[in-house]
Amino acid sequence: MGSTSLVSASNSVHKHNVFVYGSLLADEVVNVILKRIPQSSPAILHGYHRFSIKGRVYPAIIPVQDKNVTGKVLFGITDPELDILDAFEDVEYERNIVHASLIDTCDEVQTYTYVWKEKNDPHLFGNWDFEEWKPVHMNDFLKMTTGFVEELEGPESKPRVETYETFYQQSENPPMP
C-alpha cells in the first residue's frame, strides 16, 4: 500500500510582489513593519505620478498619463505581511494590481501597489522626493512607525492615520507641506 502525503491548505503560503515608492523605500521602515527586509529590485511604474501631500511627510500616487514613478518591488510578501501593509496604508490608499518594469532586467512584473483613493485631492501637489525625505523626516517617521507596529500588536490598535496624526501633534516640529 502506498503512502499519500497530504499538504494542508494552511501550509500553502501565497507570496506577493508589492511596488513601493515612498517611506517604504527605506529598508529601516520596512524592517520595523515586517520584521525583515525582503528581496527587492528597483522598478518603474508607468502611467502614475508621485505627489507630495500637504501636511503629510509621505507621498501619494495616482494615475497620470505619460508620467512614471521610480520605486522598488518587494518580493515574497506573505499574506500576513500584506495584511500588515494594508493596515499601515490604512483608509487613505487602495491596494491595486499594476505592472511594474524592473530596472535591472527590463522584465515586467505584476505587483500590488497602494494608490491614493482621492484622485482629485486638493492637498496633492508637486513631486515627492525620497532623497530629500530621508535626512529630514526618516528618524521621526521610524519612531511613528514603531509606535504603529506596537499598537498593531496590542489589543486595541489604532488606525495608522490616527497614529500618524497623534505622533505628529505631539512632536515639536510638525511636518510642513
- The CATH number of residue 140's host domain is 3.10.490.10
The residues annotated as belonging to the active site are 89
Report strand pairing: 40-53 vs 124-125.
antiparallel
Kindly give, in sequence order, each residue whose CB lies less than 8 Å from that of residue 58, ignoring residues fewer than 6 positions away. 22, 23, 128, 141
Residue 122 covered by a domain:
yes
Residue 1 covered by a domain:
no
Please tell me the pTM assigned to this model: 0.83
Number of separate domains in the chain: 1
Q: State which amino acid sits at residue 177.
A: P
pLDDT per position in the chain (177 positions), as tens? 444 434 434 445 689 999 999 999 999 999 999 999 999 999 999 999 999 999 999 999 999 999 999 999 999 999 999 999 999 998 899 999 999 999 999 899 999 999 999 999 999 999 999 999 999 999 999 998 998 888 887 766 555 556 566 656 554 444 444
Neighbouring C-beta atoms of residue 117, cutoff 10 Å: 12
Q: What is the residue range of 155's domain?
A: 14-170
